[in-house]
Amino acid sequence: MMKLRCLVLAGFLALPLASSFAQVGISVNFAPPVLPVYEQPPCPVAGYIWTPGYWGYGYDVGDYYWVPGAWVAPPTVGLLWTPSWWGWNNGAYVFNQGYWGPTVGFYGGINYGYGYTGNGYWGGRWSGNTFQYNTAVTRVNTNVVHNTYINNSVNKQVT
């Protein structure tokens, strides 16, 4: 019983410490602009993953600014990119930073295009240590990148 009390007490003492490490987020009282339409450049080398553009916010200018999409090498084999996104929460638009992970997480249901339809990622997949590109939805330089496939089913899902 004493051991249980110590564990409970330790848990309560750790709560304020854990919450003190929370990051201060970005929140704005007006919506970001509509995503611009742009052409994805071809993937320059095998292994890079598309990270779509998003609207950042500059407090110094009091407005949104566009951060263009880019092909990026993942930090390690097997990781996928979850895009940054803005969501409405408690009376403000709150920025949710993108991140690398073993699966693509929630990104606001936003259709960024090029495989990011609002749910998951259809632009490619890992097969062992090799990233394969779905050329039905993403652009690659096929003179350089040879690990490709075509899956048009995602194009039928998006209207």
Q: Are strands 148-149 and 130-134 parallel, antiparallel or unpaired?
A: parallel
Q: Is residue 37 part of a domain?
A: no
Mean pLDDT of 90-108: 97
Q: Which amino acid is at 50?
A: W
Q: Is residue 14 part of a domain?
A: no
Count the neighbouring beta carbons within 10 Å of the beta carbon of residue 86.
22
Q: Is residue 102 part of a domain?
A: yes
Q: Do the Cβ atoms of 158 and 111 come closer than 8 Å?
A: yes
What is the spatial distance between Cα 3 and Cα 15, in angstroms, rounded to a whole number? 19
Q: What are the Cα distances from residue 58, in Å, to 84, 139, 147?
A: 15, 31, 39
pLDDT the model gives residue 5: 43
Residue 11 has pLDDT above 90, yes or no: no
Domain count, the chain: 1
Q: Is residue 77 part of a domain?
A: yes
Token pair 């350089």 in the structure block, residue: 144
Six-digit token pair at 85? 């996104």
Q: Would you place residue 157 in the very low, low, confident or very high pLDDT band (cuts 50, 70, 90)?
A: low
Q: Is residue 6 part of a domain?
A: no
State which residues form the domain around 50: 45-157
Q: Do the Cβ atoms of 123 and 134 come closer than 8 Å?
A: yes
Q: What are the Cα distances from residue 81, in Å, to 45, 48, 95, 120, 129?
A: 17, 11, 16, 10, 16
Burial class (CB in 10 A: 0-12, 13-18, 19+), 82: buried
What is the spatial distance between Cα 13 and Cα 62, in angstroms, rounded to a whole number? 39
Q: Is residue 97 part of a domain?
A: yes
Q: What's the pLDDT tens digit per position in 31-77?
A: 999 999 999 999 999 999 999 999 999 999 999 999 999 999 999 99
Q: Which amino acid is at 147?
A: N
Q: What's the pLDDT tens digit per position in 115-127?
A: 999 999 999 999 9
Residue 102 has pLDDT above 50, yes or no: yes
Q: Is residue 26 part of a domain?
A: no
Q: Is residue 96 part of a domain?
A: yes
Q: Quote the mean pLDDT of the chain.
A: 86
Which residues are bridge partners to 55 per DSSP?
A: 66
Q: Nearest-CA neighbor of 133 among 47, 44, 39?
A: 47
Residue 8 has pLDDT above 90, yes or no: no
